[in-house]
Amino acid sequence: MCDVLVLDDDPSTCELIADLLVEEGLKVEEAHTPERALAVLRDSPGARLLVAEKDLCATDEIDGFAAAAEALRLYPSLRVVYMSSNTDALNCSGSTPRERSLPRPFIPNELIEVVQDLLDHSL
């Protein structure tokens, strides 16, 4: 079981984000493809938050937004942080109280604040 699932196709970025969140006392799983992310969520029904990179590599059939949309459909109480270096793409992301956008690159404390805010508030 995990608190947070990080979806990023770059293993080093995924690991960096996971390490930051583990330092905050969170249980974190990593996924490098949308399919793996959805499988982890199925296997970790207690997951509370998905951190999803919007711009996954071209070999993935769906991007991070589509993966998050499917995850939210399957797990309506899930919270999502969308990340992208394309700020126009982030402006198109969901804007419910369970969703936040974080432009990349970000300062580690920005990520931690966004994650804690989403996890600390019951919606």
Q: Give the per-residue pLDDT at 1.
A: 78
Per-residue pLDDT of the chain (123 residues; tens, 9 = 90+): 789 999 998 899 999 999 999 999 999 999 999 899 999 999 877 899 999 988 766 555 777 888 888 999 989 999 999 998 776 655 655 567 889 989 888 899 999 999 999 999 765
Tokens of 101: 């956008």
Distance CA 19, CA 24 (A): 9
Full domain range(s) for residue 94: 4-120
Contact 38, 44 (CB under 8 A): no
Look up residue 116 and give its amino acid: Q
Other beta carbons less than 10 A from residue 90's beta carbon: 18
Contact 79, 99 (CB under 8 A): yes
Q: How many domains does the chain have?
A: 1
Closest CA to 13 of 48, 47, 59, 64: 64
Give the domain CATH number at 50. 3.40.50.2300
